[in-house]
Amino acid sequence: MTKIAVLGNGSWGSVLGSMLADNGNEVTFYGNIDAVNNEINEHHTNSHYMKDWQLNPTTSATGDLAEAIQDADIVLFVLPTSAIRIVAKQVKEVLDQTRAKPLLVTATKGIEPGSKKLISDILKEEVYPNDSEKIVAISGPSHAENVAQKDLTAITCASESEENAKKVQEVFANNYVRFYTNSDLEGVEVGGAIKNVIAIAAGILAGKGYGDDAKAALMTRGLAEISRLGVEYFGAKSKTFSGLSGIGDLIVTCTSVNSRNWRAGKQIGEGKTLDYVLKNMGQVVEGATTVKAVHELAEEKKIDMPINEAVYHVLYENADVDEEIARMMGRSPKAE
């Protein structure tokens, strides 16, 4: 039996943790909302994030980080990007006291504004500066709502260490979620992060009433932007973006009503403000943060990211959606 601490008990954290418990592992959630922790412990439900759904009854939850990660073999981060560095510092303090060296697995999909760091980079800096091979990222076309219903799902687990990627593959996989290993940690993370920005754009187009042709064009050119930034700045492998964490995640996030980023974009396309959308979404919209980091990178490194820039202009510079669409469609002709 593998002992796993799941840091974050939102929808995706709850579903992953329950799945891991279903696989026969000992799972403890860490979260900072006492009411959610109490509900998990007393009723094995998490109605704030996952209505009408039951967690594995062997799971438990705590607001004490040291208690959650005590003797853990794997520490799974399922937190908003904005919380990763703060919690990583706290994890480091606990591990320094216990001298434990668990695997760190991240299911968070984002890029930190300001530093422009991937989640694995933050974990390297704050927790394992000399043990980066103990960091694994999981990413792929998956929504908590679908995995909770045991829909057939395929996910990538990436690490500098093939051995550690295989360990995660073995612990996480079951008869409805299949895991593939990958050595391109940066590429897997870039695909998972930036597809959220493209999903906001897809939602905006849907909110404006555009159809399948527009969606297909956006996703195809969006994948080109993801690959461009991944290869040119992060040193990723281009073939990674034709896999699960690239085109796979892009497809599901741009086409599903379960995507918070798509839903946020749709409301913006219908005329609502970003502040209104974020206030009423109830959960984090990672693309709204990631777009800032990508905007900074695109400007700094002179990387062509027109879709990202259009989304940034709409979200943070009050640009008119129709004018941004016209500007993109009217750009100088170029080869594909």
Let me know if 213 is exposed, middle or buried by CB neighbors in 10 A (0-12, 13-18, 19+): exposed
Let me know if 225 is exposed, middle or buried by CB neighbors in 10 A (0-12, 13-18, 19+): buried
Q: Quick one: which of 198, 180, 185 has its CA closest to 236?
A: 185
Phi, psi for residue 142 in degrees, rounded to 5: -155, 135
Please check whether residue 12 is in contact with residue 155, taking contact to mean a CB–CB distance below 8 angstroms: no
Sheet holding 74-77: strands in order across? Answer: 60-62, 26-30, 3-7, 74-77, 103-106, 135-139, 153-159, 177-182
- State both tokens at 118: 């991937």
Catalytic residue among 195, 215, 272, 301: 195
Degrees, nearest 5: CA angle 51-55-59: 140
Q: Quick one: which of 80, 114, 98, 56 has its CA closest to 8?
A: 80
Q: How far is CA 57 from the centre of its chain?
A: 26
CA atoms lying within 13 Å on the CB side of residue 117:
14
Neighbours of 278 (CB within 10 A): 15
- State both tokens at 100: 């434990």
C-alpha–C-alpha distance, residues 281 and 299, integer Å:
30
167 catalytic, yes or no? no
Degrees, nearest 5: CA angle 314-320-326: 105
- State both tokens at 202: 């897809």
Neighbours of 145 (CB within 10 A): 16
Catalytic residues: 195
